[in-house]
Amino acid sequence: MGELARFFGKLSPNSLGEALRDITFGRNFCVISNNIRIDAIPWTRKQVKTFYKEYFSSANNEDMVHAISRNTVFGYTFIEESITIDVFWYYISDRTLCFRVKEGEKIIALIVTADCDKTDQWENLERLET
């Protein structure tokens, strides 16, 4: 495991979520705009739907259909050192923000906040399939 992966693995969900938010968006995400780092690759609608179904299938599917129709659902991938970071977010009223951190195919962290205006509500998200 690389140094960054070990570092990420030692952080609490709140600390990791805020660190990932900073390297992905800067401090202003959920406050001003959705400015994402320039090297992040946007997901296709199919990738967004696949991620949602895999990790959020117990959530309200009508919310996702609504978010997709209003173009308020997003997914991006970027590499930081040897770590792949996937970021996914959507909003209806509050914004749900999720990070999946991988080294190779191994998931190191999968965290989510259902209200990204707050810095202390990050939780580990259980994979629905192993």
pLDDT of residue 44: 93
pLDDT of residue 63: 67
- Nearest CA-CA partner of 68 in 86, 85, 44: 44
Looking at the chain, the whole-number percentage of residues with pLDDT higher than 70 is: 78
End-to-end CA distance of the chain: 20
Q: Going by C-beta distance under 8 Å and a sequence separation of 6 or more, which residues neighbour residue 124?
A: 13, 109, 110, 111
Alpha-carbon distance of 103 to 4, in angstroms, equals: 10
Which pLDDT tens digit goes with each residue over 77-96?
A: 999 988 999 999 887 767 78
- Count CB atoms within 10 A of the CB of residue 47: 16
